[in-house]
Structure 1
Amino acid sequence: MERERISIMPQFAERVELARAYYDKFYSKTSNRLVFCGINPRQSGSGKTGLPFIDFNGINQLMSGKYKDVQERSAQFMLSIINKYEIGEFQNAVYMTNLSWYGFRRDGKNMNYYNLPRAIRDLFIESFIEEMKIVQPTAIVPLSGEVERKLKKLAADDQLDFPIAERLPHPFNCSFPTNVEKARERYHKCIEQHTGLQI
């Protein structure tokens, strides 16, 4: 990707131990989970922690961490959803990921997965498909129109053999004060419908 001036956000290599600790704590137990699926990490939230939709403020709360209390809007909205349940209860029922595990930059600026050259996109999609085979989701909830289109295309091409649930608005859009209450209702309703988990 060097020729296209594209690089992977450096924090991912630096947060391997944090990611391992998080997944060991919350996802070592086999369970049938609903999957919330975004596009890719961005610089300010999961781009720093290496964990989808989790910022350092969330890490401090969920894992008793001692990181600088950095917050990001999407992650704070997701934390408000998670905090309605007991710690670990949400993770037993819901798995959060992205089409691409990695975040990208071009010339130092955030770059979305779908703007990558196709050959590179295909590599990350292969990884996502393998991840879903491991997770065995009860359903996958797209968190943007772009994700919804890609998931439905993968399903139509027989590359993804799991139900695609109704799309939910992206957590960043949900985080605005005028949207947050109704968005939380939609997220909790989706969780209850697909997992039986109740607040």
Structure 2
Amino acid sequence: METFANRVIEFNRNLQYSGNLPEDFQVLNPHLDNPETMKVMQEFYHKYYNDSNQRKFIIGINPSRHGAGVTGVPFTDTKRLESACGIVMKSAHTHEISSVFIYDMIGHYGGVEEFYRDCYINSPFPLAIVRKSKNGG
């Protein structure tokens, strides 16, 4: 069965950007840069989206370097990935203020089970845009 989870995972796995950017910027696919990101992202979507239900689409901004840029899950840092979603990420430990805000809102909604049953968050451009440092990194 084609599930919402499988469609999102396949989309994330195949994301790429081939357009032009200013010389000192680059685009990163957080799902491919760290193998554990792909693993926890898949675990998240299979846990909360393993169905074919329709959801409300909440449009956010591009991934932050401490949230979806690490976990692969929009507006979710490693702290909330573990504390709210029960998914542990061992290779990174991050705190993102937008994740605090979103998970406070999710708590008021009724919790992660209810929220993710009804809603899907992503970005029009779900890749990370980063500025290269002077030393090339």
- Identify the TM-score tier after normalising by the shorter chain: 0.5 to 0.7
* Cα separation, 2, equivalents of 1:50 and 1:91: 15
Given residue 6 of structure 1, which amino acid in structure 2 is its aligned partner?
A: F
Q: Which has the higher contact order (CA 8 A, sep 6+)?
A: 2
Go from structure 1 to structure 2 and tell me whether the alpha carbon gap of 1:38 and 1:11 turns closer, same or farther (over 3 Å shift).
same
Counterpart position of 1:175: none
Counterpart position of 1:91: 116
* Cα separation, 1, equivalents of 2:112 and 2:22: 44
Counterpart position of 2:10: none
* Cα separation, 2, equivalents of 1:97 and 1:10: 14
Candidates 72, 76, 80, aligned match of 2:104: 80
Larger Rg: 1
Given residue 93 of structure 1, which amino acid in structure 2 is its aligned partner?
A: D
Residues 9 and 43 in structure 1, CA contact (< 8 A), matched pair in contact too: no
Calculate the TM-score normalised by the size of structure 1: 0.48
Q: What secondary structure, in the 3-state scheme, does the structure 1 residue paired with 2:127 have?
A: coil
Counterpart position of 2:57: 35
Sequence identity of aligned pairs in percent? Answer: 23
Q: CA RMSD in A?
A: 2.4
Candidates 59, 63, 71, aligned match of 2:95: 71
Residues 52 and 97 in structure 1, CA contact (< 8 A), matched pair in contact too: yes
Q: Report the number of matched residues.
A: 109
The alpha carbon displacement at 1:10 in A equals 6.1
Q: Does 1:9 align with 2:31?
A: no
Structure 1 residues 105-184: aligned runs within 5 Å:
105-108=130-133
Calculate the TM-score normalised by the size of structure 2: 0.68
Structure 2: gaps (5+ residues): 1-19
Residues 67 and 75 in structure 2, CA contact (< 8 A), matched pair in contact too: yes
Given residue 52 of structure 1, which amino acid in structure 2 is its aligned partner?
A: P
Structure 1: gaps (5+ residues): 110-199
Structure ranking higher in helix proportion: 1
Counterpart position of 1:26: 48
Go from structure 1 to structure 2 and tell me whether the alpha carbon gap of 1:59 and 1:25 turns closer, same or farther (over 3 Å shift).
same
The alpha carbon displacement at 1:39 in A equals 2.4
Runs of 4+ in 1 over 6 A off after TM superposition: none
